[in-house]
Amino acid sequence: MEKRFDDNIFKKIFRMFHSMKFGIVLLVVIGVLSIIGTIIPQNRSDVFYMENYHGFFYELINVFDLGNLYSSYWYIGLMILLIINLFLCSIRRFIPILKRVTEKPNLDKVLEEYKTWDTINIKEDKINGFASDLGFRNLETKNVDGKKIYYKNINSMGYLGSWITHVSLIVIILAFGIGRYMGYEVFVYGIPGTVRDVEGTNYQIQIDDFEMRFDENMVVSQYVTSLTLLENGEIIDSGQLMVNHPFRGKGINIYQNATGWALHAFLYKDDQAYKQTVLYNSEFFVEDDGKIALQFVELFPDFDMSDPTALRNLSPLPNNPVLLYALYYNGLKVDMGLARMGDLIEYEEYKFIVNRPEMYTLLQINHDPGITFAAIGGLLQIVGLIFAFYLRPKKLRIVIEDDNVWLWSKSYGNDNLYKEELNRKIEKWEEQ
């Protein structure tokens, strides 16, 4: 008895896994979670969530890892359950669907039932024309016991429509998983001459040049980066990329993501050269064990000196660059102000000088090994939808005995509309 009980439990669980209702519930839950993942910024620091979400909402994000939703164990678990459900549904349905696709007309059943069908007043020599008008061309015929049977199945591949669509969802979800957990997305930035490692790979990006193009109204029309792609320090490719025109090579795509200003910053301590660096927008130049720090708050490339308090530019060109900075000493902000290129920014024994402003480029580097599978899944989905909506399986059976003509026909999809069309065709051909 205990074994039978265990078997029943197993069967119930198995039936649940391959049930359509369970799949729909999973899709709804995953859809709702994906909306939440869109609303809540992903992959931010814990400090970000603490500052922007308070009390109950912060605890909810923290407990359920909603800040890393798509990498959380339970979201991945739901996706695995959905794949299992779709796979089992597809396996369970395939053989019955294949039988319907390859089904041959059962003429014995036709002979048993034909006298329950509707009779029509269409002459035998018009049958093929009538059938062709309905979409049934080249009817097959057979004579049995003085009766002539006309029969045809069309669009049988339409039965596969929903099945192919299900399979396409499995492929797309797998493609998402492959891309998510085997691919990578990395950001690198720098001024011309900079070489950056692509984290997690053997690649390096060398930024050869960066250009900002303007139209006649001095509005930026395009950003152009020239780069060299290296692998373990060896050049393997080079080229240009622009907004909406990524660089593609060696299975990776590099996109123009953003830009900003950089400065060459020099630090002196007790009037002696101490350190120099390239300082990028919003970054800190921190030295001497954190004792002194200069923050690049914002650069005004063409500062409007007529009204310094307005903090605005006359143009995007570096005609009169002015830095808005903040200065920290022992962790405390001790100064904030404006400095022209070459001006001294001093505090205690430290002096900063900034000059040579230039634009830097921010590049987004993507590698998605699942993209081929996603394309296959998308193609399968299109095929499945075409089969499901445009290949309506239809059957036609006509039996002629003496001067009587019996008709049966059915469409597996919008059958009511098909019946209306069938009645119109019957009236048309009965009048001829």
Length of the chain: 432
User: Helix, strand, or coil here: 326?
Assistant: strand
In this prediction the pTM is 0.67
Running DSSP on this structure, what letter comes out for residue 39? H
End-to-end CA distance of the chain: 71
**Pair of tokens at residue 234:** 């060896």
User: Helix, strand, or coil here: 381?
Assistant: helix
Place of tokens 């921190």: 286
103-147+394-430 CATH fold: Alpha-Beta Plaits (3.30.70)
Q: How far is it, in rounded angstroms, from Cα 247 to Cα 241?
A: 5
Count the Cβ atoms, other than its own, within 10 Å of residue 279.
23
Q: How far is it, in rounded angstroms, from Cα 27 to Cα 417?
A: 31
> Is 168:86 a contact under the CB 8 Å cutoff?
no
Host H or E run for residue 178: helix 161-182
The radius of gyration of the chain's CA atoms, rounded to the nearest angstrom, is 36
Question: CATH 3.30.70: which residues of the chain?
Answer: 103-147+394-430
Q: How far is it, in rounded angstroms, from Cα 53 to Cα 68?
A: 15
Q: How far is it, in rounded angstroms, from Cα 120 to Cα 152?
A: 18
Reading the chain (432 residues) residue by residue, the pLDDT tens digits are 445 545 566 667 667 777 778 888 888 998 898 888 888 888 777 777 877 887 788 888 888 888 888 888 888 888 888 888 888 888 888 999 999 999 989 999 999 999 999 999 999 999 999 999 999 999 999 999 889 999 999 999 999 999 999 899 889 988 988 887 888 888 999 999 999 999 888 999 999 999 988 888 888 889 999 999 999 999 999 999 999 999 998 888 999 998 999 999 999 999 999 999 999 999 999 999 999 999 999 999 999 988 888 889 998 899 999 999 999 999 999 999 999 999 999 999 999 999 999 999 999 999 888 888 999 999 999 999 999 989 999 999 999 998 899 999 999 888 889 999 999 999 999 887
> Is 250:239 a contact under the CB 8 Å cutoff?
no
Q: How far is it, in rounded angstroms, from Cα 85 to Cα 233?
A: 47
User: Helix, strand, or coil here: 154?
Assistant: strand
Nearest Cα neighbor of 86 from 183, 184, 188, 169 is: 169
- One-letter amino acid of 119: T
Strand 350-367, strand 394-401: pairing: unpaired
